[in-house]
Chains A and B, each alone.
Chain A
Amino acid sequence: GEDVEQSLFLSVREGDSSVINCTYTDSSSTYLYWYKQEPGAGLQLLTYIFSNMDMKQDQRLTVLLNKKDKHLSLRIADTQTGDSAIYFCAESVRYSSASKIIFGSGTRLSIRP
């Protein structure tokens, strides 16, 4: 079946790196995504990685993909208070006549001073 799992909470000190982990089950995923949700808002796409890549870097964000273990991680360098949010891991899977996105439950990132 299709499932995306991630831990519910992460607390880091301001200035440290945050690492949010995710595991998924569908080996046919083509894209894997990280979305960010701030309070009272919808989800915003942070970054995504194609399944034939193992790493993608975008400024403070680094995505690592281990396809063998079906493990995805998001590293945020120099975490700031503005990074406080819920982070969702998601994968695209084939469903009926189209693809769909399966979301994890989200990891709430909180920043300590």
Chain B
Amino acid sequence: NAGVTQTPKFQVLKTGQSMTLQCAQDMNHEYMSWYRQDPGMGLRLIHYSVGAGITDQGEVPNGYNVSRSTTEDFPLRLLSAAPSQTSVYFCASSRDSPNSPLHFGNGTRLTVT
């Protein structure tokens, strides 16, 4: 099993560009989520999904969109990148809710200039 796979590993964007961070899991997990990790701030929840077709906002959703058309995939879209979105992004999934252990991808390091 590959677990949680994130692509790309690294990305540089100019302010105003858009892009999609990909996340896929092969564990048939219902719950998927996106976090951003910034120095000294831990991980902050951006969006999450409790199953296909269902998404909801986390603590810091502004500037990001998500969709969950399949159980396996949970892409994160930046519509118009800003320097404040420079961060490391982690996708995580769990069996049914975040009370089950979270499995993390290896992260995407995004720089917005």
A binds B: yes
The answer to whether B99 touches A97 (Cβ under 8 A) is: no
Q: Does A64 contact B (CB under 8 A)?
A: no
Given contacts A92-B98, A98-B48, A99-B99, contact A43 B90 (CB under 8 A): yes
Residues of B with Cβ closer than 8 Å to A?
4, 31, 33, 35, 40-45, 48, 50, 56-58, 90, 92, 97-99, 101-107
In the bound complex, CA of A76 to CA of B103 (Å) = 22
Q: Interface size class for chain A?
A: 20 to 34
The answer to whether B90 touches A42 (Cβ under 8 A) is: yes
In the bound complex, CA of A8 to CA of B101 (Å) = 24
In the bound complex, CA of A88 to CA of B56 (Å) = 24
> Interface majority SS on B: helix, strand, loop or mixed?
strand
User: 9 new A-B pairs (CB below 8 Å) besides A101-B102, A103-B44?
Assistant: A4-B42, A41-B106, A42-B106, A43-B90, A43-B104, A88-B43, A101-B45, A103-B42, A106-B42
Number of contacts between A and B (CB, 8 Å)?
62
The answer to whether B50 touches A45 (Cβ under 8 A) is: no
Q: B-facing mask of A19-53, CB < 8 A → 1, else 0? A: 00000000000110101000011111100100000
The answer to whether B106 touches A43 (Cβ under 8 A) is: no
In this complex, which of A40, A99, A101 has the most chain B Cβ atoms within 10 angstroms of its Cβ? A101
Q: Does A59 contact B (CB under 8 A)?
A: no
